[in-house]
Amino acid sequence: GQQVMQIPQYQHVQEGEDFTTYCNSSTTLSNIQWYKQRPGGHPVFLIQLVKSGEVKKQKRLTFQFGEAKKNSSLHITATQTTDVGTYFCAGTSQSGGSNYKLTFGKGTLLTVNP
């Protein structure tokens, strides 16, 4: 079955440093989504990338989708304490017929030292 690998598992940074998490799929994806889960909270949708090579920005966050649609990255510039949480990538693939399945990576836990 489809696998989505995400690295690193943990990342601790000083406030103001940059942070990147990487996601790789064993199969070509229809699209990739990114979610953020604050400690004790639930996953919250951040963004979706659909096109090969797509790059999207949300303030200090930059999301990329690889040319082969098998990898993606999330980069945060100048981290803040509010960025703390687990960032998940989730790849969409067909699961049969017209149905699709979202497979989550294991997430990267980001902690920020003020």
Partner 1 sequence: DTAVSQTPKYLVTQMGNDKSIKCEQNLGHDTMYWYKQDSKKFLKIMFSYNNKELIINETVPNRFSPKSPDKAHLNLHINSLELGDSAVYFCASSRRWTSGSSEQYFGPGTRLTVT
Tokens of 60: 């200090």
Residues that bind partner 1 (rule: CB under 8 A) add up to a total of: 27
Asked if 17 and 113 count as a contact pair (C-beta separation under 8 A), the reply is no
- Tell me the one-letter amino acid at 114: P
Residue 77 Cβ vs partner 1, minimum distance, rounded to whole Å: 24
**Per-residue binding letters, 28-67, with partner 1 (x by CB under 8 A):** --xx-x---x---xxxxx--x-x-----------------
Check residue 25 for interaction with partner 1 (CB under 8 A).
no
- Whole-number Å distance between alpha carbons of 25 and 90: 9
